[in-house]
Amino acid sequence: MKKVQPYQNIEEALNILDNGGRFYNIFTKAGDGIISQAELGKVGGVFNNKQAAILFLELATSELDKAAKGKLLSKMEADLQSSHEKFLPQRLLPSEMKTKGILSSSAIVTGVPKLTTSKTSFNGFIMVPISTGNITTFTMIPLIDRYDVYELRDEASSETFIIAHSKSKEKLPEKKMKVAGIIKELKTNKQEDVASNLFLEVLYNSEIA
């Protein structure tokens, strides 16, 4: 998960995003007035993941006004504009995620996270692939074994939603923030055929002052 500091103006955004890409993107030029997929991926820290790149872009530009955002989008190459339209994330509160969240889609959720540390107080399982040679099988494991798990709550209510991110990343502070990620299935137990719950796999976060 990457911490994001939103851009404060269009000049800052253009300067950072029109960066030329990584060293092997030899046909991508910095400062040419065109923002490419490679350039956005470099800043967002992703490779060939359009959904994650657009999620980063939306969080990074969340404080720009409509006019500035429109100008920035007009600078993007055609394929990137199409990806932006396809992967535009939902913007929800934790209390809205269970009823409005769409499985496998991107979402930016605002709330206050609280770390869950006890396996006995949290029951939730995810399906993970296991590859042996050319054969891939799937097994169920507790979400808390793979991720740091948080309850994200509405600032003005007691309603919560489960979010998770890599154990290798810095723990989230218990303060209001935006978290951005992908909505995935969460099963109550290993025998459950159809997942009864959802969780957000967090890729980016941004603290709110």
Residue pLDDT, tens place only, 153-176: 988 788 899 999 888 888 999 999
- Could you tell me the domains of the chain? 2-88 (no CATH), 91-207 (2.40.50.140)
Task: Name which of 31-35, 73-77, 97-101, 191-195 the model is least confident about.
Answer: 191-195
Residue pLDDT, tens place only, 5-29: 999 999 999 999 999 999 999 999 9
Q: Which residue stretches of the chain are H helix? A: 10-17, 37-44, 50-60, 66-74, 78-86, 94-100, 143-146
**Cα separation, 102 vs 91, whole angstroms:** 11
Backbone dihedral angles phi then psi of residue 68, each to the nearest 5 degrees: -65, -40
